[in-house]
């Protein structure tokens, strides 16, 4: 870890705890800052805050008092989930106090270069693939961010021999200053998080921050099939590396004649990739580009892609029982994600769907239901999804109480050769705390069938 002097004797407010806030506060304290923590959860229910209090850090819990901003802070480290229209953040912006997120701290103290991955969909799969490829290629990677250990915890232990592979949200990227990954990736861009950003342009601008500090010495890997991503690339000073599932790109990764290529070098046969789904091909190509730029050989890439079956809860292969293949796509919390999951298969599908009702209808799913022979619904949106299934001409439609009961019903509706797919198209919060809990229950129910 770099022992930087930037924060020595600087008065810093860490706003919001969770894992990133705890790590940021502890790191700043170690760097000599005068740290104050403010978290909405009461101290009696906040073991993380109690632990920091024992380190001698000032802790204010139970509310977010706006007047706290007037106490002479020189920096705010904000939890990414706290929106910029929060009254405390608004006051800080009025006073001109710099606001960063924890990933910026991680970058400033890290001895290791970063590979940063952002985008609307595919971030987690791409991040995991790059990590596995670098590991297989003996490049000593560390994984951080939303799917790994908190970035500043990883950065403390990293050395110049490591590569930090990090998944980055638009929320995190709004709070960077110097952050500059050696390799940056935008997988794709669709409409998302407008309740946080306000409009689509603000969302895209936040994503574009991943390349804002890059120079001609760094690489920016972008989706050549998306015009908006290419527009962002035009503003970058980095070396642009393209990937495309639809055309040949000389300076990048693409598919031709049943093979995957990078910079006109054949990497491997497409048929040897076991991860299903056309959408996953985008993730695979961007991961290959990052791995090749990091010096990973084709044999290591082949070994990963010939065995990698998916990230947990993201079109994750679970088992084959009596000729039926079960897939857990609980992370599909919106219609677009379920559409992509359905497009991944040519076999007949038994679809398990339903969940939190956010007020939308599901008519956009109809064109994607061609291979669906039966639907099992649950949760608040069961009736809405059943209506769409009927309009799509699906005859077998069953409603159950929950995901656990959906699995045996789906099995009864299926035949050998079918795919049984949990891809809910909805958030889980009507019945389950997280999509991970929902997916774990599905997996457990599948194993019970055995």
pLDDT higher than 90, residue 111: yes
Of residues 315 and 379, more confidently modeled: 379
Residues 41 and 157 reside in one and the same domain: no
CB 187 within 8 A of CB 244: no
Annotated binding-site positions: 119-125
Q: What is the CA radius of gyration of the chain?
A: 23
CATH number for position 55 = 3.40.50.720
The model's pLDDT over 396-430, given as tens digits with 9 standing for 90+, comes to: 999 999 999 999 999 999 999 999 999 999 999 99
Question: What is the pLDDT confidence band of residue 7, given thresholds at 50, 70 and 90?
Answer: very high
pLDDT higher than 90, residue 309: no
Residue 56: domain span: 11-100
pLDDT score at 148: 74
Residues 110 and 249 reside in one and the same domain: yes
CB 97 within 8 A of CB 166: no
Residues 341 and 284 reside in one and the same domain: no
Residues 180 and 62 reside in one and the same domain: no
Return the ∠ at Cα 430 (arms to 428 and 434), rounded to 5°.
35
pLDDT score at 198: 84
In this structure, what token pair is assigned to residue 2? Answer: 């770099």
Asked whether residue 1 is domain-assigned, the answer is no
Return the ∠ at Cα 205 (arms to 99 and 183), rounded to 5°.
85
Residues 258 and 402 reside in one and the same domain: no
| Counted domains in the chain | 3
CB 377 within 8 A of CB 398: yes
The model's pLDDT over 360-400, given as tens digits with 9 standing for 90+, comes to: 999 999 999 999 999 999 999 999 999 999 999 999 999 99
In this structure, what token pair is assigned to residue 235? Answer: 């503003």
Asked whether residue 310 is domain-assigned, the answer is no
Cα dihedral 400/402/407/411 (nearest 10)? 10
pLDDT score at 416: 97
Residues 189 and 282 reside in one and the same domain: yes
Asked whether residue 153 is domain-assigned, the answer is yes
pLDDT score at 58: 95
Residues 117 and 248 reside in one and the same domain: yes
Of residues 392 and 200, more confidently modeled: 392
Domain end residue (candidates: 100, 127, 157): 100
The model's pLDDT over 318-371, given as tens digits with 9 standing for 90+, comes to: 999 999 999 999 999 999 899 989 998 999 999 999 999 989 999 999 999 999
Alpha helices in 14-68 (DSSP H): 18-30, 47-54
pLDDT score at 240: 98
Weakest-pLDDT range from 23-32, 177-186, 197-206, 253-262: 197-206
- The pLDDT of 114-132, averaged and rounded, is 95
Asked whether residue 113 is domain-assigned, the answer is yes
Pairing status of strand 324-328 against strand 316-321: antiparallel
CATH number for position 378 = 3.90.190.20
Residues 226 and 275 reside in one and the same domain: yes
Of residues 450 and 168, more confidently modeled: 168
Residues 172 and 34 reside in one and the same domain: no
CB 262 within 8 A of CB 292: yes
Residues 89 and 115 reside in one and the same domain: no
Asked whether residue 362 is domain-assigned, the answer is yes
* pLDDT-above-90 percentage for the chain: 86
Alpha helices in 159-255 (DSSP H): 170-173, 194-197, 200-208, 227-234
Domain end residue (candidates: 38, 73, 100): 100
Asked whether residue 34 is domain-assigned, the answer is yes
pLDDT score at 311: 84
Asked whether residue 4 is domain-assigned, the answer is no
Asked whether residue 402 is domain-assigned, the answer is yes
Annotated binding-site positions for ATP: 119-125
């Amino acid at each position: 870890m770099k022992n930087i002097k930037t924060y020595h004797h600087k008065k810093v407010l860490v706003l919001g705890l969770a894992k990133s806030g705890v790590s940021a506060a502890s790191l700043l304290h170690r760097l000599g800052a005068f740290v104050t923590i403010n978290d909405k959860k009461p101290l009696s229910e906040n073991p993380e805050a109690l632990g920091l209090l024992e380190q001698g850090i000032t802790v204010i819990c139970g509310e977010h008092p706006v007047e706290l901003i007037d106490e002479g802070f020189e920096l705010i480290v904000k939890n990414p989930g706290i929106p910029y229209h929060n009254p405390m953040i608004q006051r800080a912006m009025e006073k001109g106090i710099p606001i960063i997120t924890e990933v910026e701290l991680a970058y400033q103290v890290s001895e290791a270069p970063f590979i940063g991955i952002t985008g609307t969909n595919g971030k987690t799969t791409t991040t995991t693939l790059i990590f596995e490829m670098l590991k297989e290629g003996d490049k000593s990677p560390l994984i951080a961010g939303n799917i790994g250990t908190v970035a500043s915890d990883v950065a403390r232990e990293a050395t110049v021999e490591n590569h930090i592979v990090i998944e980055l949200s638009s929320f995190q990227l709004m709070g960077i200053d110097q952050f500059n990954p050696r390799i940056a990736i935008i997988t794709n861009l669709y409409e998302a998080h407008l309740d946080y950003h306000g409009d689509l342009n603000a969302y895209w601008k936040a994503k574009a921050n991943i390349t804002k500090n890059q120079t001609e010495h760094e690489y920016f890997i972008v989706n050549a099939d998306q015009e908006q991503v290419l527009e962002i690339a035009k503003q970058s000073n980095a070396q642009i590396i393209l990937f495309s599932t639809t055309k040949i790109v000389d300076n990048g990764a693409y598919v031709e004649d049943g093979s995957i290529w990078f910079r006109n070098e054949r990497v491997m046969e497409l048929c040897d990739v076991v991860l299903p789904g056309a959408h996953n091909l985008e993730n695979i190509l961007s991961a290959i580009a990052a791995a090749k730029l990091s010096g990973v050989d084709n044999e290591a890439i082949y070994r990963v892609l010939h065995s990698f079956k998916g990230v947990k809860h993201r079109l994750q292969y679970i088992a084959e029982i009596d000729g039926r293949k079960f897939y857990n796509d609980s992370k599909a919390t919106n219609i677009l994600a379920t559409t992509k999951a359905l497009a991944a298969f040519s076999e007949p599908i038994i679809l398990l769907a339903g969940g939190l009702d956010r007020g939308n209808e599901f008519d956009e799913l109809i064109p994607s239901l061609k291979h669906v022979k039966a639907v099992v619904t649950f949760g608040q949106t069961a009736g809405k999804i059943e209506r769409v299934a009927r309009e799509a001409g699906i005859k077998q439609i069953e409603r159950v109480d929950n995901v656990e009961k959906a699995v045996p019903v789906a099995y009864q509706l299926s035949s050998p050769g079918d795919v049984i797919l949990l891809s809910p198209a909805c958030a889980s919060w009507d019945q389950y705390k997280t999509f991970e809990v929902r997916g774990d229950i599905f997996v457990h129910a599948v194993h019970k069938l055995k």
